[in-house]
């Protein structure tokens, strides 16, 4: 097996590099490099730049405006974007909802929503979790009751990422409380500007406002916003989760993170020598790098199968567990490499400060990232739940 890129793939990589050099605004890449939070304006700018180039939706079929890239090209693109510190593309519309609409939505829904996801006119958020319905998602209680041409929605969602920016939310709602849990759920698309919706912020461990509670009081949703069939939402919800988990592998982020750890550990001294030469530290870095290479190959294998039309199954759970473990290990290595400089996670401690306590370049955000990325093993279905899924498939013979 030849693991080197072909001449065409190298040419594609160069094309991506040239594009990123020309089009990725420096203030955006600098903000990403320093681990600073992204405001809506920054996300929107990068979204528009990619859309203009036609490179916003690598996973979509070309007929809907996708790039038509194969698995290797997508991998190269992700790798290069992370290497250049491009902002992450917000996944809710592009990589979570869009595949569901493409597979299960009506023609009218595809025609209306897909172009607006690409243009950025619609910013989507994910209304799955509720208090008491996270791992046990099927026990969700937000109710939707049919009233003529509308559903009336009442209830509460929680942990809604970037819901403060969203103008649309895709929601799992209970339409039949009498049926078995999974059989009474529907998948609704809800305009966040509908009267009766309230978004309340939740502050995270690193002090950021990234997640929210979303409350629904007598919210009227047109029936044409139901995806697929009533009470079949669980099928669509699970399909969406496999896409969410595959993207969670975060190979490019880990590659960029590992490079940052090495840069930091070259600058930091341990007993007069660069920390990177310390055998214990170097062994941990090597182990993370080997794990990452193995996962990167597995990731390629899985996206290649997905490109041939196979929805990722248990493999996406494997990627979720391994990908997040690697990212958290890299965060921990960065925190250790920064040493005492990791103590303050205040944004004002920036490189370039000429006081004696000026931190080494790359150490400013390690604590914030370490704390923020505790979330990785919780969201998208916690890692314990993914391990249950893997065990059931490999030990129990069912998915």
Q: Going by C-beta distance under 8 Å and a sequence separation of 6 or more, which residues neighbour residue 81? A: 16, 20, 252
Q: Nearest 5 degrees, angle CA 302-CA 303-CA 304?
A: 90
Least distance CB 69 / ligand FAD (angstroms) = 27
Judged by CB under 6 A, the residue of 12, 19, 165, 379 near ligand FAD is 379
Binding mask 201-220 for ligand FAD (x = CB under 6 A): ----------x---------
Q: Is 382 in the site for ligand FAD (CB under 6 A)?
A: yes
Least distance CB 127 / ligand FAD (angstroms) = 6
Closer to ligand FAD by CB, 157 or 262: give it.
Answer: 157
Q: Is 135 in the site for ligand FAD (CB under 6 A)?
A: yes
Secondary element (H or E) of residue 146: strand 143-147
Least distance CB 124 / ligand FAD (angstroms) = 10
Stretch of 52-60, 81-89, 127-135, 329-337 contacting ligand FAD, by CB under 6 A:
127-135
Q: Are 212 and 233 in contact (CB under 8 A)?
A: no
Q: Give, as ranges, the residues between 316 and 375 that touch ligand FAD (CB under 6 A).
A: 375
**163: DSSP letter:** T
Catalytic annotation, pick one of 78, 210, 244, 364: 244
Least distance CB 318 / ligand FAD (angstroms) = 16
Q: Is 199 in the site for ligand FAD (CB under 6 A)?
A: no
Closer to ligand FAD by CB, 90 or 285: give it.
Answer: 90
Q: Concatenate the DSSP letters of all residues of 187-230 into one string.
A: EEEEETTSTTEEEEEEE-TTS-EEEEEEEEEEEEEEGGGEESST
Least distance CB 151 / ligand FAD (angstroms) = 19
Q: Going by C-beta distance under 8 Å and a sequence separation of 6 or more, which residues neighbour residue 215? A: 155, 156, 197, 198, 199, 200
Closer to ligand FAD by CB, 298 or 382: give it.
Answer: 382
Q: Is 388 in the site for ligand FAD (CB under 6 A)?
A: yes
Judged by CB under 6 A, the residue of 103, 205, 384, 399 near ligand FAD is 384
Binding mask 76-115 for ligand FAD (x = CB under 6 A): ----------------------------------------
Round to whole Å and give the CA distance between 181 and 183: 6
Burial class (CB in 10 A: 0-12, 13-18, 19+), 247: buried
Q: Is 126 in the site for ligand FAD (CB under 6 A)?
A: yes
Applying CB under 6 A, what is the total number of residues that bind ligand FAD? 19
Judged by CB under 6 A, the residue of 59, 95, 109, 129 near ligand FAD is 129
Instruction: State how far the alpha carbon of 115 is from the alpha carbons of 67, 101, 214, in Å.
Output: 14, 12, 26
Long-range contact pairs involving 65-68 (C-beta distance under 8 Å, separation at least 24) = 65/114, 65/115, 65/118
Could you tell me how far CA 232 lies from the centroid of its own chain?
25
- Residue 244 is a catalytic residue: yes
Instruction: State how far the alpha carbon of 130 is from the alpha carbons of 152, 216, 264, 340, in Å.
Output: 18, 12, 40, 38
* Nearest CA-CA partner of 170 in 246, 233, 249, 260: 233
Least distance CB 37 / ligand FAD (angstroms) = 13
Q: Which two tokens stand for residue 154?
A: 């009442």
Judged by CB under 6 A, the residue of 59, 142, 160, 254 near ligand FAD is 160
Q: Give, as ranges, the residues between 230 and 259 that touch ligand FAD (CB under 6 A).
A: none
Q: Is 381 in the site for ligand FAD (CB under 6 A)?
A: yes
Q: Is the dihedral of CA 251, 70, 317, 382 positive or negative?
A: positive
Judged by CB under 6 A, the residue of 151, 159, 168, 253 near ligand FAD is 159
Q: Please report, as ranges, the residues that interact with ligand FAD according to CB under 6 A.
A: 125-129, 134-135, 159-161, 211, 375, 378-379, 381-382, 384-385, 388
Q: Which residues are tagged catalytic?
A: 244
């Amino acid at each position: 097996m030849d693991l080197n890129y072909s001449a065409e793939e190298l040419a594609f990589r160069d094309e991506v590099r040239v594009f990123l050099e020309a089009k990725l605004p420096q203030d955006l890449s600098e903000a990403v490099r320093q681990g600073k939070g992204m405001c809506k304006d920054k996300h929107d700018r990068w979204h528009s730049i990619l859309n203009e180039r036609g490179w916003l939706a690598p996973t979509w079929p070309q007929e809907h405006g996708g790039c038509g890239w194969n698995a290797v090209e997508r991998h190269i693109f992700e790798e290069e974007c992370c290497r250049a510190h491009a902002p992450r593309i917000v996944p809710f519309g592009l990589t979570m909802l869009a595949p569901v609409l493409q597979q299960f939505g009506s023609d009218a829904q595809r025609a209306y929503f897909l172009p607006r996801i690409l243009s950025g006119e619609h910013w989507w958020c994910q209304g799955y979790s509720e208090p008491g319905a996270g791992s046990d998602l099927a026990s969700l209680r937000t109710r939707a009751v049919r009233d003529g041409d509308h559903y009336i929605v009442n209830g509460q969602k929680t942990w809604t990422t970037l819901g403060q920016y969203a103008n649309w939310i895709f929601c799992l709602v209970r339409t039949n409380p009498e049926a078995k849990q999974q059989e009474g759920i529907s998948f609704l698309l809800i305009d966040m500007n509908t009267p009766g919706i309230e978004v309340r912020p939740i502050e995270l461990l690193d002090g950021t406002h990234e997640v929210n509670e979303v409350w629904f009081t007598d919210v009227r949703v047109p029936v044409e916003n139901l995806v697929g069939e009533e009470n079949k939402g669980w099928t669509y919800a699970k399909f969406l989760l496999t896409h969410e988990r595959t993207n969670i592998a975060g190979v490019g982020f880990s590659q960029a993170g590992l490079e940052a750890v090495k840069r930091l550990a070259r600058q930091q001294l341990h007993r007069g020598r660069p920390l990177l030469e310390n055998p214990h530290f170097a062994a941990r870095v090597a182990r993370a790098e080997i794990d990452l290479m193995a996962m990167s190959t597995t990731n390629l294998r899985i996206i290649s199968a997905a490109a041939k039309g196979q929805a990722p199954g248990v493999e996406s759970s494997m990627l979720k567990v391994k990908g997040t473990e690697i990212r958290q290990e890299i965060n921990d290595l960065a925190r250790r490499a920064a040493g005492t400089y990791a103590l303050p996670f205040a944004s004002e401690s920036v490189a370039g400060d000429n006081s004696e306590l000026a931190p080494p370049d790359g150490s400013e955000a390690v604590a914030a990232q370490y704390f923020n990325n505790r979330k990785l093993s919780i969201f998208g279905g916690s890692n314990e739940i993914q391990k249950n899924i893997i065990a059931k498939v490999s030990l129990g013979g069912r998915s």
